[in-house]
Amino acid sequence: MENKLTLEQIQNFEGKYPKQLWYLFLVEMWERFCFYGMRGVLTIFMADQLLGLSLSDKEANLKYGAIQAFVYAFTFIGGIFADKILGFKKSLTFGALVMILGNLIIAFSPQQFFYFGITLSIIGTGFFKPNISSMVGDLYKEGDPRRDAGFGLFYSGINIGALLGGSVCVYLGTSKDYGWSYAFLSAAVVMVIGLATFMLTKKSLGPIGDSPLQELPTAKRTTREIMVYVGSLISIPLIFMMIKNTDYTDYFMYTIGPLAILYFLYETIMEKDNKAQRKLIAAFVFIMFSVIFWAFFEQSGGSLALFAKNNLHHTLLFFDINPNIVNNTSNSLFVIIFSPILGLVWLAMAKKKVEPNTVIKFGLGFLFLALAFYVFYYTKFFADANGVTSLNVFTLAYFVITFGELCLSPIGLSIMTKLSPKRLSGMMMGMWFLASAYGQYAAGLLGAGMSSPDEKASLITKLQGYTEGYYQLALYALIAGVLLIVISPLVKKLMQEVK
């Protein structure tokens, strides 16, 4: 038996980042390429009247919300199975294989096999996604001050993948020379690279991500693992049906949320330690607010994608560019540029003892979100007689929204790992992603509500509908931000020593 690295050896690393973080960074980067590439083309592919699924804008928004919701809901389920049976490493490998297969099937014939392929992608992402963040958390000892910096770096990796995927897939999908099959094929190819990277580097993770059932006899353990794989494959027809008909999605979302909350309450009540209980309640507050945040933020894949497709000029500063590439990549680009800068700002403020606490940062995230949607609304004042408006103002809104995301999302992942007791870390990561599922689902409903019911509506009518919707979202985001800042002392008390 070779000498396996111990957890102690991994966590006693020198310098700022453990080397394993770079490996996980690369694996996640390729998975995000695949995920954001797909997300960028979903709505425009579904609304493409010639080569896509030729759905109405409203239908495309609803289906987008449903697909994204299932991706995140499955993450909750995948997180629990990884926690209890598979361990993170096996869960990730299985998820990657299923995702690759799903993308290859769509690439083969996008119009015919879209729903089947996307069903596999949903299951694969569910097993893949929660595990990398949890493994990043395990690289650090409890209370290691370098953990936030690690999540910051990891987050920029996510965004490099999103930037590449967002531009490449939209370019291939909308290009006359290539088309939709190439967009989906490119997502499969990069996922193969991601999986290969993981297989080559997973030894360096030592015991991190191993199956939690190590002490069981091998035969018993293997039986349980096989049951998880079979169970996930049995769910294919169910998910397929729910995406195909979004009415079923509604029933699903009305069921899984309350069940997850009941399960959370059960685990919180069963928690003997009073302090841990309070921390779980604090985590729950963050989770509930994040639902609202993502419902607004995720307009980028739904209504904003259609807005970009129909209502924007193709000129950004001096460049001629597809507005959907801007819609799909500007946020990632701004995150890559400003994430380290904002990190330095927080550090400088911390030195002067004026750094806002996590709850206030969350509140600030909403205030930036409100301002961004006000700018999206403001694009209507730059529209020409045909209802086509400025790509520059649109991009400015993304610049603002990025700061909202940076105040909330990287901290969110880190705070979940800090507030959860060790035994519930997968469940809490899952709850965090499930909150995103509800956000995505609500995003689809909000987008559908803004889109014109009449497919033959003029661009002016579409512009009016969307910008009025963005004005409403700006107001709601403002209210949520102010509320969070007001209740911050109470939440801070619940968090106790966690910063």
Is residue 316 within a helix (H) or strand (E), and if so which, with residue range? strand 315-316
Q: Please compute the mean of the pLDDT values over residues 368-386 and round it to a whole number.
A: 91
Both tokens of residue 410?
């990287």
Three-state secondary structure call for residue 122: helix
- Residue 241 or residue 498, greater confidence: 241
- Express each pLDDT in 282-308 by its tens digit: 888 888 998 999 899 988 878 888 888
Q: What angle do CA 438, 444, 448 make, to 5 degrees?
A: 145
Q: Please compute the mean of the pLDDT values over residues 111-115 and round it to a whole number.
A: 88
Asked if pLDDT for residue 370 goes beyond 90, the answer is yes
Region of residue 454 (left: phi > 0; alpha: psi -120 to 50; beta: else): beta
Q: Please compute the mean of the pLDDT values over residues 207-222 and round it to a whole number.
A: 80
The pLDDT of residue 128 is 85
Q: Among positive and negative, which fits the CA dihedral 76, 273, 282, 262?
A: positive
User: What percent of the chain is predicted at pLDDT more than 90?
Assistant: 16
The pLDDT of residue 452 is 67
Asked if pLDDT for residue 1 goes beyond 50, the answer is no
Asked if pLDDT for residue 236 goes beyond 60, the answer is yes
Give the pLDDT band (50/70/90) at residue 146.
Answer: confident
The pLDDT of residue 3 is 58
The pLDDT of residue 475 is 94
CA dihedral of 74, 78, 79, 84, whole degrees rounded to 10: 150
CB atoms within 10 A of CB 219: 7
From residue 358, how far is each of 103, 226, 243 by CA, in Å? 38, 41, 36
Indicate the range of 110-114, 361-365, 419-423 predicted with least confidence: 419-423
From residue 57, how far is each of 38, 70, 104, 242, 300 by CA, in Å? 18, 20, 26, 19, 14
Burial, 258: exposed, middle or buried (Cβ in 10 Å; 0-12, 13-18, 19+)?
Answer: exposed
Q: How far apart are CA 13 and CA 8, in angstroms?
A: 9
Q: How far apart are CA 64 and CA 120, in angstroms?
A: 16
Mean per-residue pLDDT of the chain: 85
Q: Please compute the mean of the pLDDT values over residues 338-357 and round it to a whole number.
A: 82
For residues 437-446, b (16+ Cβ closer than 10 Å) or e, as one string?
Answer: bbbbbbbbbb
Q: Among positive and negative, which fits the CA dihedral 349, 353, 359, 363?
A: negative
Give the pLDDT band (50/70/90) at residue 453.
Answer: low
Q: Please compute the mean of the pLDDT values over residues 485-491 and round it to a whole number.
A: 88
Q: How far apart are CA 335 and CA 343, in angstroms?
A: 11
- Express each pLDDT in 323-341 by its tens digit: 888 888 888 899 888 887 8
> 5 CB contacts (<8 Å, ≥6 apart)?
203, 204, 205, 206, 207
Indicate the range of 35-44, 99-108, 194-203 predicted with least confidence: 35-44
Q: Please compute the mean of the pLDDT values over residues 234-241 and round it to a whole number.
A: 88
Q: Please compute the mean of the pLDDT values over residues 332-361 and round it to a whole number.
A: 84
Asked if pLDDT for residue 468 goes beyond 80, the answer is yes
- Asked if 222 and 44 touch (Cβ cutoff 8 Å), the reply is no
Place of tokens 């990884």: 82
Give the pLDDT band (50/70/90) at residue 101.
Answer: very high
Three-state secondary structure call for residue 318: coil
Phi/psi at 150 (5° precision): -65, -45
- Express each pLDDT in 59-86 by its tens digit: 888 888 888 888 888 877 887 888 788 8
- Asked if 173 and 50 touch (Cβ cutoff 8 Å), the reply is no
Q: Please compute the mean of the pLDDT values over residues 210-229 and round it to a whole number.
A: 83
Residue 20's identity, in one-letter code, is Q
Place of tokens 């957890």: 7
- Asked if 368 and 401 touch (Cβ cutoff 8 Å), the reply is yes
Three-state secondary structure call for residue 319: strand
